[in-house]
């Protein structure tokens, strides 16, 4: 992976992260408020799942 592709991947993540609040601010606000109610362990578990999924996608 080159340094340019790393910047491209970061830019793509930012675009994807911005889509939901842009398209549905109310839905995004509702989702964030529900996430805020989760315990730290639950948040860490879902973050770990995201990390493992990301590594799996990069691997394959």
Q: What is the pLDDT of residues 40-59, one digit of tens each?
A: 999 999 999 999 998 898 88
Length of the chain in terms of residues written: 60
pLDDT of residue 54: 87
Confidence bin at 5 (pLDDT 50/70/90)? confident
pLDDT of residue 1: 61
Residue 26, pLDDT > 90, answer yes
- Cα–Cα distance between 45 and 37 in angstroms, integer? 14
Closest CA to 34 of 45, 43, 23, 21: 43
- In degrees rounded to 5, what are phi and psi of residue 14? -65, -40
pLDDT of residue 6: 85
């Amino acid at each position: 992976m080159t340094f340019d592709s790393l910047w491209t991947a970061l830019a793509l993540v930012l675009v994807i992260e911005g889509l939901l609040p842009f398209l549905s601010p109310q839905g995004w606000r509702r989702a964030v408020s529900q996430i805020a109610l989760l315990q730290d362990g639950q948040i860490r578990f879902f973050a770990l799942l995201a990390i493992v999924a990301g590594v799996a996608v990069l691997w394959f």
